[in-house]
């Protein structure tokens, strides 16, 4: 036998650029991009993923749906599936879409389809499904993200934007050169910086923190977990959810000791006085001093007071991770973070001010490209109905009911058909027992998926998608210099099709095929997106190559806007470059928000007591605070069957970290399997013991595929370790209704029964006719 050297195919993913080797339709090895200074270990999940036993091999329809037709049912999630041909699938699905539109109207389709899908500008599942549904006449959509549900609504009121906080954040090189002190609420978790929507050619965070330290820079990390900050720092571990109280006390010290920058507050902000009345206790009789914050957070008053003075004595960046707004009252942490930075008077100065998302994703701190990116046009949605994204269960369970959102009173439409491509609500949504009851309500649930995820198993019509490895595409992202040619690594698996091909066939069956495809094949679309994008780049002096040359080369390096300082132009000239707020300034007090009259989000940042916290009543019953953060070993639920993710599991269960004291109190040792529970549900997980955490905190990442012991029972225990069987399905506040999945109180006990098998990665029973 002769061996030929494997060809390597260039590709990219949300967790970085790489080249892949393949044999017989399977990826066998993945090599990080040479230019990447700190590649993500998650690349190790790819090998063996294409022909995984969890792949959807061909179109499948739930048996009950096929036999009884569309309608509400509790059998979703436990029924068998029947294999159908592509012709039959196209016929059934186009007929059902037509029925729903004709009988109930387009707003009866929920097509929000939230989720991360895969990298690539053309085969982007959400763009594909939204273009298709728009051309069908529209759909009820969702707004904002699970990532930034609270920030997305509050920050435009406070600083006139939310996206610029990341896209035009102060760059890492500026921080490394100019900052003296980083005060990081939520740390700067390196595990998260592996990821960027659309992929990255480099991962600079670790390197930047090292250069910053080499220059003498110091870091204070507020976090329940020591490893949210790699390397040297002052680690302070408050009671989770109390950061706003700590920030208020820091502000109190600044105000009461005259360390706040009055000139900055006068020139660049509105409403400081109203806020100060609250801060000093003039309006409510409660001074928000260090002693007050100590009682709430457990952080010694002296620590807070000395930190405040330290912050005022040099160039200080206040950094708030996104996790802090993915909790009840999540609007307050970014609002208060900006307020604290404003009091220090360093917003818009090199290395000072505010940062939101350092360590949440790779993007913050990276330089943006100055021109638009190649984009597959989604068209216009004629339907006005929408929900804040994390209100999916409310939407399905409460048709016709009114709800508050950002100063408006809206109504949930009556949804008959749910269409998902590129997301996994059984990964992302909270209180899964409630989600299952919500998913029993519509007539039909359609899911495009490469894998038999729990979402696919809970659908009626399952459409087998290719993964990005099975097709060509273009990739780039706002804060990365490299446009990547994603070369197909392997042929499409089994009977899987690109989402584009599926939608093209459906559009033809429904009479708008030409409009959907514009007569282009996918390769022609990729070339078209490239040529549409070129002129702006060339006008900027870019000298882009012809498509063929770009494709053969594999990448093109774009110009970036380097060394940015967040709100630098605003600081230089606030009259010429006002913020997009009503006053043009930073709104420490917002008349707009005050005018909404919400009692859970008032006119200036405040401390509100949450329900899921260690000092509250619920903690008497459920005394451990579970942090459901992003997993180190994968992106969300993607490739949970991959080698890196699997290597972390304990007897196949997701690891849960406990402090030695919490473990000892419960007679637990490392590698025990435990039942984690509260009054919403329970899951199994495998014990890891770690002294680098708050003693009353446990940590169980999201992403283990939901695996109910009895698939017919919506309240069944998840045997695999998905924390969303425990988390509350409540919004951050009436203002934004953001996701609050990061925090939940639980109790833990040793699981002594026989270990149930993990069936999460098994396909369902699939009948053939
Ligand atoms: N408790 C708790 N819950 C959380 C969070 C938390 O902090 N705590 N964080 C939240 C956050 S920030 C987020 S962003 C969400 C993430 O939630 P999701 O984005 O929904 O999670 P993913 O697992 O990335 O889901 C993407 C799905 O797309 C599929 N896919 C990949 N490529 C393709 C394709 O080409 N076509 C199609 N049709 N499908 C494809 C993948 O197989 C995968 O199942 O989770 C949220 N949930
Ligand atoms: N490896 C990996 N990286 C990812 C993702 C992934 O799935 N895997 N997902 C990506 C996505 S979509 C997003 S939106 C971002 C999310 O970015 P984040 O939301 O910032 O990420 P998390 O890991 O959920 O939380 C960061 C840290 O905040 C800490 N924390 C939690 N609660 C508190 C608190 O009350 N106070 C303080 N001070 N700290 C607290 C936790 O210890 C946690 O490790 O991550 C991205 N990066
Ligand atoms: Mo996210």
Q: What are the pLDDT digits (tens) for 12-69?
A: 999 999 999 999 999 999 999 999 999 999 999 999 999 999 999 999 999 999 999 9
Of the residues 427, 470, 488, 506, which should be mutated to test ligand 1's pocket, given the most ligand atoms within 8 Å of the CB? 427
Q: Looking at ligand 2, which residue's alpha carbon is closest to its atom 14?
A: 147
Query: What would the pLDDT profile of 439-497 be if each residue is shown by its tens digit?
Result: 999 999 999 999 999 999 999 999 999 999 999 999 999 999 999 999 999 999 999 99
> What is the number of other CB atoms lying within 10 angstroms of the CB of residue 306?
13
Active site residues: 114, 116
Ligand sitting nearest the alpha carbon of 699 = 2
147 Cα to the center of ligand 3, angstroms: 3
| 199 and 117 Cβ atoms separated by less than 8 Å | no
Q: What is the pLDDT of residue 2?
A: 44
29 Cα to the center of ligand 2, angstroms: 29
- Determine if ligand 2 sits within 6 Å of the CB of residue 337: no
- Determine if ligand 1 sits within 6 Å of the CB of residue 362: no
Give the span between the Cα atoms of 133 and 130, in whole angstroms.
5
146 Cα to the center of ligand 3, angstroms: 5
- Determine if ligand 2 sits within 6 Å of the CB of residue 637: no
Q: What is the pLDDT of residue 6?
A: 63
- Closest by CA to 723, choosing from 477, 428, 523, is 428
Ligand sitting nearest the alpha carbon of 448 = 1
130 Cα to the center of ligand 1, angstroms: 17
DSSP state of 237: -
Give the span between the Cα atoms of 28 and 198, in whole angstroms.
23
Give the span between the Cα atoms of 45 and 638, in whole angstroms.
9
The domain made up of 60-146+383-480+492-515 has a fold known as Rossmann fold (3.40.50)
Q: What is the pTM of this model?
A: 0.98
- The contacts of residue 548 (CB under 8 Å, 6+ apart) are none
Q: What is the pLDDT of residue 617?
A: 97
Q: What is the pLDDT of residue 7?
A: 82
Backbone φ and ψ of 455, nearest 5°: -65, -45
Nearest-5° Cα angle at 573, 570 to 576: 95
- Determine if ligand 2 sits within 6 Å of the CB of residue 185: yes
- Determine if ligand 2 sits within 6 Å of the CB of residue 123: no
Ligand sitting nearest the alpha carbon of 739 = 1
- Closest by CA to 412, choosing from 74, 110, 734, is 110
| Ligand 2 atom nearest to CA at 630 | 23
* Alpha helices (H) in 410-482, listed in sequence order: 425-428, 432-439, 454-457
The domain defined by 617-750 carries CATH number 3.55.40.20: no
319 Cα to the center of ligand 3, angstroms: 18
- Determine if ligand 1 sits within 6 Å of the CB of residue 361: no
> Which segments of the chain belong to CATH 3.40.228.10?
154-369+563-596
> Which segments of the chain belong to CATH 3.40.50.740?
60-146+383-480+492-515
- Determine if ligand 1 sits within 6 Å of the CB of residue 448: yes
Helix (H) / strand (E) containing 629: none
Neighbours of ion ligand 3 (CB under 5 A): 147
> Which segments of the chain belong to CATH 2.40.40.20?
617-750
CATH no., domain 154-369+563-596: 3.40.228.10
Give the span between the Cα atoms of 191 and 414, in whole angstroms.
40
> CB-side exposure of 667: number of CA atoms within 13 Å?
4
Give the span between the Cα atoms of 528 and 531, in whole angstroms.
5
Burial of 304 (0-12, 13-18, 19+ CB in 10 A): buried
- Determine if ligand 1 sits within 6 Å of the CB of residue 743: no
| Ligand 1 atom nearest to CA at 629 | 7
Q: What is the pLDDT of residue 1?
A: 43
Give the span between the Cα atoms of 731 and 410, in whole angstroms.
15
Q: Looking at ligand 1, which residue's alpha carbon is closest to its atom 16?
A: 428
- Determine if ligand 2 sits within 6 Å of the CB of residue 203: no
| Ligand 1 atom nearest to CA at 453 | 44
- Determine if ligand 1 sits within 6 Å of the CB of residue 628: yes
- Closest by CA to 312, choosing from 289, 338, 342, is 342
User: Which residues of the chain are under the pLDDT cut of 70?
Assistant: 1-6
145 Cα to the center of ligand 3, angstroms: 7
Give the span between the Cα atoms of 42 and 195, in whole angstroms.
9
630 Cα to the center of ligand 2, angstroms: 5
């Amino acid at each position: 036998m002769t061996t030929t050297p494997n060809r390597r195919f260039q590709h990219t993913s949300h967790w970085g650029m790489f080249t892949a080797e393949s044999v017989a339709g399977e990826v066998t090895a993945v090599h990080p991009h040479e230019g990447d200074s700190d590649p993500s270990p998650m690349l190790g999940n790819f090998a063996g993923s294409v022909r995984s036993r969890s792949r959807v091999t061909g179109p499948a329809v739930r048996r009950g749906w096929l036999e009884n037709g569309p309608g509400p049912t509790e059998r979703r999630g436990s029924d068998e599936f029947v294999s159908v041909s592509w012709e039959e699938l196209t016929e059934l699905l186009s007929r059902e879409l037509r029925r729903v539109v004709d009988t109930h109207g387009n707003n009866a389709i929920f097509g929000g389809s939230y989720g991360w899908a895969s990298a690539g500008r053309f085969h982007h599942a959400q763009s594909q499904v939204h273009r298709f549904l728009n051309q069908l006449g529209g759909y009820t959509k969702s707004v904002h993200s699970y990532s930034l549900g609270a920030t997305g609504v509050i920050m435009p009121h406070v600083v006139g934007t939310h996206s610029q906080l990341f896209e035009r954040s102060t760059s890492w090189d500026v921080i490394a050169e100019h900052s003296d002190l980083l005060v990081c609420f939520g740390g700067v978790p390196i595990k998260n910086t592996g990821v960027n929507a659309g992929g990255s050619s480099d991962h600079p965070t670790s390197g930047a923190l090292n250069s910053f330290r080499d220059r003498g820079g110091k870091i204070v990390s507020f976090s329940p977990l020591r490893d949210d900050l790699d390397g040297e720092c002052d680690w302070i571990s408050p009671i989770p959810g109390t950061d706003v109280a700590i920030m208020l006390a820091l502000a109190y010290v600044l105000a009461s000791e005259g360390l706040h920058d009055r000139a900055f507050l006068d020139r660049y902000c509105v409403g400081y006085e109203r806020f100060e009345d609250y801060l000093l206790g003039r309006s409510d009789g409660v001074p928000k001093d260090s002693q007050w914050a100590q009682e709430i957070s457990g952080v010694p008053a002296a620590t807070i007071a000395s930190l405040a003075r330290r912050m005022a004595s040099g160039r200080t960046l206040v950094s708030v991770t996104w996790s802090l707004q993915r909790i009840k009252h999540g609007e307050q942490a970014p609002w208060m973070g900006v307020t604290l930075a404003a009091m220090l008077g360093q917003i818009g100065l090199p290395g000072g001010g505010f940062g939101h998302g350092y360590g949440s994703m790779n993007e913050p701190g990276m330089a943006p490209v100055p021109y638009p990116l190649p984009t597959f046009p989604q068209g216009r949605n004629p339907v006005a109905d929408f929900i804040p994204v994390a209100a999916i269960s409310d939407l399905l369970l409460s048709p016709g009911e009114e709800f508050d959102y950002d100063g408006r009173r809206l109504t949930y439409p009556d949804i008959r058909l749910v269409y998902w491509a590129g997301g996994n609500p059984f990964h992302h949504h909270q209180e899964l027992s409630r989600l299952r009851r919500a998913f029993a309500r519509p007539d039909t649930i359609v899911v495009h998926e490469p894998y038999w995820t729990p979402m696919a198993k809970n659908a009626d019509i399952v459409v087998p998608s290719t993964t990005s490895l099975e097709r060509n595409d273009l990739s780039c992202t706002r804060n990365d210099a490299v446009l990547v040619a994603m070369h197909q690594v392997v042929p499409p698996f089994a009977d899987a099709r690109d989402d584009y091909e599926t939608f093209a066939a459906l559009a033809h069956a429904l009479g708008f095929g030409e409009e959907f495809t514009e007569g282009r094949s996918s390769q022609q679309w990729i070339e078209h997106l490239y040529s549409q994008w070129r002129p702006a780049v060339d006008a900027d002096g870019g000298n882009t190559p012809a498509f063929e040359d770009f494709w053969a080369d594999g990448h093109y390096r774009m110009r970036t806007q380097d060394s940015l300082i967040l709100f630098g132009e605003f600081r230089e000239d606030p009259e010429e470059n006002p913020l997009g707020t009503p006053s043009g300034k930073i709104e420490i007090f917002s008349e707009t928000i005050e005018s909404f009259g919400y009692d859970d989000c008032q006119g200036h940042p405040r401390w509100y007591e949450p329900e899921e916290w260690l000092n509250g009543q619920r903690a008497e019953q459920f005394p451990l605070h579970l942090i459901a953060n992003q997993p180190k070993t994968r992106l969300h639920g993607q490739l949970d069957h991959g080698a890196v993710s699997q290597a972390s599991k304990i007897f196949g269960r997701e690891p849960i970290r406990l402090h030695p004291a919490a473990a000892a109190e419960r007679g637990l040792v490392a590698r025990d399997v435990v039942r984690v529970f509260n009054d919403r549900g329970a899951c199994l997980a495998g014990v890891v013991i770690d002294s680098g955490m708050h003693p009353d905190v446990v940590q169980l990442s999201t992403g283990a595929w939901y695996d109910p012991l009895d698939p017919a029972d919506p309240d069944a225990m998840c045997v695999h370790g998905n924390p969303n069987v425990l988390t509350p399905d409540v919004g951050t506040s009436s203002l934004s209704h953001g996701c609050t999945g990061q925090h939940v109180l639980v109790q833990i006990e040793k699981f002594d029964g026989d270990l149930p098998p993990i069936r999460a990665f098994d396909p369902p029973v699939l009948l053939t006719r």
